[in-house]
Amino acid sequence: MAKQKSVYVCTACGGQTLKWQGQCPHCQMWNTLTETVAEKPASRFSPVSGKSQVQNLSEIEALEEPRYVTGISELDRVLGGGLVRGGVVLLGGDPGIGKSTLLLQALSNLSMHRQVMYVSGEESAQQVALRAKRLASNVQTIPLFAEIQLETILATLGEHKPEVAVIDSIQTIYSEALQSAPGSVAQVRECAAQLTRLAKSSGTTVILVGHVTKEGALAGPRVLEHMVDTVLYFEGDMHSSFRLIRAFKNRYGAVNELGVFAMSEKGLREVRNPSALFLSHHDRQVSGSCIMVTQEGTRPLLVEIQALVDEARAPHPKRLSVGLEQNRLAMLLAVLHRHAGIPCFDQDVFVNAVGGVKITEPGADLAILLAVVSSLKNKPLLEKTVVIGEVGLAGEVRPVQRGQERLKEAEKLGFKRAIIPLSNKPKLSIGDIDVIPVGRISEAVTRMYV
């Protein structure tokens, strides 16, 4: 038998090299190359649907596909109104965050009027059954298939033709055609490709569960994200019971929609009114705390930003952020110094978004800066104040999207003052909230206490 050759495959981009290197030559990531057995190229790309022909878009009947509603409205919301026939959804998240629980609950609702199947590669049938018992509803009616071999799974799905199938998880499945271990880049890519093909040709909706690496990316190549129609991420602080589910990519709906759940002893429970979830309710105002309104998809969410500024003991002061972008923090501190004359170069700065929520939009800039200033001066902001706004490199406060809705939400939750970008100033007053429009960062700093 010929000696097996190995190649080095990048776990981030799927690129290959013949020799090991510290840096992937394709995507320039460090320490991502792992050794795998070289696969023999096989011609496995037989066309799916016979011969295709060129057609005019206008001649093709664009039927609006009916959605399979999962009955969990927070999940339906992130999916853009439910699952789509023949769609492929990838659900990523840390281990133990509740992916299997959520999907069991969703399948249990779907199984009332649809054919479903749960393929478990991670847990044995007994373990799934044990969990199902805890989730009091009618999970007992879900057909379960404990298997990790792709060919057997494809055959079973082809035979039973379920309308919705869950594969838990893609990293445990392996194909006979490849020699590399389950979870390797080649296997994950091949299995996902085959399952996607099955979904498109048979109309089965496939939900793939994917693991997330320490850095928060889906383990396995990015190609997985390109292959599927929808990518959902489960996030949240493991120490609190709240879980967020976010659409990262969605061919059938809006992205950045947010679903909110709480983990209880009876599985995941929906949180219908999450806007005040991420506030830590202090009995009086404390310094270094500033409340902002972020807009996630169609829903505004109030989040407390906390900052701690402390004299640095080391030559290089620390800049740490949890739930917010670290590089952006360094940039904001430079803007604060240059345009508001408040230096932090001899201070360690830590910022945190309360409740394990991740804020990716720049609308948090102004709140971060005011929290930093408040901590530095050890003086709390005035009571019941919310802060919204992006800060530019020239020290200007830039407008945010849907400013009105954010203000309305803050007003509804009893806030009395709002520091907002000048261009977001509402034409009519909103309730009895006192709106303070600011154009520059220096103005915002002077208006935080008066």
Shortest distance, position 44 Cβ to ligand TYD, whole Å: 30
Cβ atoms of 354 and 391 within 8 Å: the answer is no
Would you state the structure tokens that stand for residue 359, as one six-digit string? 């804020």
Pick what 300 binds: Mg ion, ligand TYD, none; C-beta below 5 to 8 Å, kind-dependent: none
Cβ atoms of 397 and 450 within 8 Å: the answer is no
Site for Mg ion in 68-107 (CB under 5 A): 100
Count of H helices and E strands in the chain? 10, 23
Within a 13 Å sphere around the CA of 380, how many CA atoms are in the beta-carbon half? 13
Encode 382-443 in three state secondary structure. Answer: CCCEEECCEECCCCEEECCCCHHHHHHHHHHCCCCEEEEEHHHCCCCCCCCCEEEEECEHHH
Shortest distance, position 419 Cβ to Mg ion, whole Å: 43
Would you state the structure tokens that stand for residue 230, as one six-digit string? 């929808």
Pick what 9 binds: ligand TYD, Mg ion, none; C-beta below 5 to 8 Å, kind-dependent: none
Fill in the amino acid letter for 260: V
DSSP 329-366: HHHHHHHHHHHH----TTEEEEEEEGGG----SGGGHH
Shortest distance, position 134 Cβ to ligand TYD, whole Å: 5
Distances (CA, A) of 378 to 183, 365, 442, 443: 50, 20, 18, 19
Under the rule (CB under 6 A), what is the footprint of ligand TYD? Answer: 93, 95-101, 131, 134-135, 263, 265-267
Gap between the Cα atoms of 34 and 220, Å rounded: 11
Pick 100 or 275: Cβ nearer Mg ion: 100
Gap between the Cα atoms of 200 and 85, Å rounded: 9
Cβ atoms of 83 and 205 within 8 Å: the answer is yes
Gap between the Cα atoms of 357 and 378, Å rounded: 25
Give how many residues touch Mg ion by CB under 5 A. Answer: 1
Shortest distance, position 268 Cβ to Mg ion, whole Å: 13
Shortest distance, position 189 Cβ to ligand TYD, whole Å: 22
What x-and-dash track marks residues 100-139 binding Mg ion by CB under 5 A?
A: x---------------------------------------
Pick 211 or 406: Cβ nearer Mg ion: 211
Gap between the Cα atoms of 233 and 246, Å rounded: 5
Pick 167 or 441: Cβ nearer ligand TYD: 167
Shortest distance, position 330 Cβ to Mg ion, whole Å: 37
Asked whether position 172 contacts Mg ion by CB under 5 A, the answer is: no
**Residue 279, SS3 per DSSP:** coil
Pick 134 or 161: Cβ nearer ligand TYD: 134
Beta bridge pairs of residue 34: 9
Pick 142 or 386: Cβ nearer ligand TYD: 142
Pick 128 or 445: Cβ nearer ligand TYD: 128
Cβ neighbour number for residue 29 with a 10 Å cutoff: 16
Cβ atoms of 177 and 189 within 8 Å: the answer is no
Pick what 431 binds: ligand TYD, Mg ion, none; C-beta below 5 to 8 Å, kind-dependent: none
Shortest distance, position 100 Cβ to Mg ion, whole Å: 3
Pick 100 or 321: Cβ nearer Mg ion: 100
Shortest distance, position 132 Cβ to Mg ion, whole Å: 13
**Residue 228, SS3 per DSSP:** coil
Pick 192 or 307: Cβ nearer Mg ion: 192
Pick 97 or 198: Cβ nearer ligand TYD: 97
Q: Residue 396's closest CA among 426, 369, 372, 430?
A: 369
Pick 39 or 123: Cβ nearer ligand TYD: 123
Shortest distance, position 172 Cβ to Mg ion, whole Å: 10
Shortest distance, position 264 Cβ to ligand TYD, whole Å: 6
Cβ atoms of 292 and 403 within 8 Å: the answer is no
What phi and psi values does residue 235 have, to the nearest 5 degrees?
-140, 175
Residues at the site binding Mg ion, with contacts judged by CB under 5 A: 100
